[in-house]
């Protein structure tokens, strides 16, 4: 899937900054959008999650 040049550049910058591959980043963006708009149930982190305290 290809996007407009400005979106492709934004994906490339975000991928570099987040150290994610393009496909992983697109999956994350779509999942978060679907959760935010109620199309998917919100995925809560467990209390003992590895990301605890990293925000």
For 13-28, the pLDDT digits (tens) are 999 999 999 999 999 9
Position 53 scores a pLDDT of 53
The dihedral formed by the CA atoms of 42, 37, 15 and 55, expressed in degrees to the nearest 10: -50
The total of structural domains in the chain comes to 1
* The two three-digit tokens of residue 49, written as one number: 């999650």
Owning domain of residue 27? 5-36
Q: What average pLDDT does the structure give for the chain? A: 87
Position 4 scores a pLDDT of 98
Q: Evaluate if residue 44 carries a pLDDT over 80.
A: no
Residue 44 lies in a domain: no
Question: Tokens 């994350």 correspond to what residue?
Answer: 28
pLDDT classification of 49: cutoffs 50, 70, 90: low
Residue 11 lies in a domain: yes
Q: Evaluate if residue 55 carries a pLDDT over 60.
A: no
């Amino acid at each position: 899937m290809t996007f407009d040049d400005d979106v492709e550049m934004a994906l490339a910058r975000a991928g570099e900054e987040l150290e994610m591959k393009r496909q992983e980043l697109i999956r994350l963006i779509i999942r978060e959008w679907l959760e935010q708009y109620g199309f998917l149930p919100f995925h809560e982190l467990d209390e003992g999650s590895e990301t605890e305290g990293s925000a």
